[in-house]
Structure 1
Amino acid sequence: MKDHHLTRKIIFLAAVFSICACLQVFKEYFFYIHALLFAEPWRLWTGHWVHVGWIHYFLNMLAFMCLPFIFPRASVWHFTALLLVLPPLISLSFYYFLPDIDAYAGLSGVLHGAYAAVACVHLIYKRERNFAALVLFLILSKLIWENTVGSMGTAQLIGSPILVEAHLLGVIWGIGTASAYLLIEHFTDRYMHE
């Protein structure tokens, strides 16, 4: 059974890497562009699945690749849901609350949200609680660092400024998504036992 889950995670990662790489070839058609968001609604999602350049792509894919293995309880279904739910939430937040953001590309906001969401859910498991709390502490520390000191080194590496607002929105929506998931699980379990 364990090998089956590992195989599914590897296939899932290969699919995500491939889809993002294919979109990368024609990235200008998939960026988040404020003025085009509702005329071309696929950009709600694809703006987070494409990257400024290939170095940016590889860095985000490396970070994404670690997620299913450091939180082995989470299933491919959970990661798929996060890749589908978080991008439009972040994009709509840009559109309505940060309209000065004209363009965006990158998975980092979704990554921050996915790590936060999965870590929040793992707080309910006694064996994983300390590790999940450490991950949340590191995410919070990174957000504080980015909003005070900055991310110049990473910006130079990828050749584009870092939009730290995407990271913050990702964490906010990740925690919100985890909370909704836990509430649904709680009420579903309660209903099933009545």
Structure 2
Amino acid sequence: MKDQFLMRKVVFIAIVVSFSACLQVFADSFIYWQAGLFQEFWRLWTGHWVHVGWIHYALNMLAFACLPFIFPRVKVWHFAALLVLLPLFISLCFYYFFPDIEAYAGLSGVLHGAYVAVACVHLLYKKERNFAAFVLLLILAKLIWENTIGSVGTAELIGSPVLVEAHLLGVIGGVVIAMLYILWDYFFEWE
């Protein structure tokens, strides 16, 4: 059973990495583009699956591939749900609350949200609580760093400015999703 659980995660990671690579080939057709967002509604999601370049892609896919193994208790469907909900949340927030953001590409906001959502849920498990709190502390420190000192090194590495608003929105979305999941689990006891 444990081997099947591991295999599902590996297959899921392979599918997501491959899907993102396919979109990357035609990135201009899939980035978040505010002007035509609702005429080309797929951009609400795909804008987070394409990147400004292959280095950006590789960094995000590496961070994504680590997540299911850092928190081994989480099931594939949890990750799939996060990958559907968080891009939609972030894109709609860009559109309604940050109208100056005309274009966006990258998974980092979704990754911030996914790590936070999973870590928040893991605070409930005694054995994982310390590690989950450490992950949350690291993400908080990263957000503070990005919003005060900046992320010049990362911007130089990926060849594009880092949109820290995406990271912050991802964290907010991750906390909201974690709270909804915890409440649902509490009232309906499913997992």
> What TM-score bracket applies, with the shorter chain setting the length?
over 0.9
What is the deviation of 1:174? Answer: 0.3
TM-score by length of 1: 0.97
Partner of 1:24 in structure 2? 24
Q: Distance in 1 between matches of 2:102 and 2:76?
A: 33
Cα deviation 1:46-92 (Å, max 9, x = unaligned): 00010000000000000001100010000100000000000010000
Q: Distance in 2 between matches of 1:165 and 1:26?
A: 25
Q: Distance in 1 between matches of 2:46 and 2:20?
A: 9
What is the deviation of 1:154? Answer: 0.5
Partner of 1:67 in structure 2? 67
Is it true that 1:92 corresponds to 2:88 in the alignment? no
AA aligned opposite 2:106: G
Cα deviation 1:94-150 (Å, max 9, x = unaligned): 000000000000000000000000000000000000000000000000000000000
Which aligned segments of 4 or more residues in structure 1 are displaced greater than 3 angstroms?
none
TM-score by length of 2: 0.99
Structure 2 stretches lacking a partner, 5+ long: none
Q: Distance in 1 between matches of 2:64 and 2:15?
A: 12
Q: Distance in 1 between matches of 2:29 and 2:70?
A: 33
Is it true that 1:139 corresponds to 2:130 in the alignment? no
Structure 1 stretches lacking a partner, 5+ long: none
State the superposition RMSD in angstroms. 0.7
What is the deviation of 1:12? Answer: 0.3
Q: Distance in 2 between matches of 1:44 and 1:180?
A: 22
User: What secondary structure is seen at the aligned counterpart in 1 of 2:48?
Assistant: helix
Q: Distance in 2 between matches of 1:47 and 1:36?
A: 12
In the alignment of these two chains, the number of paired residues is 190
What is the deviation of 1:38? Answer: 0.4
Q: Distance in 2 between matches of 1:36 and 1:50?
A: 17
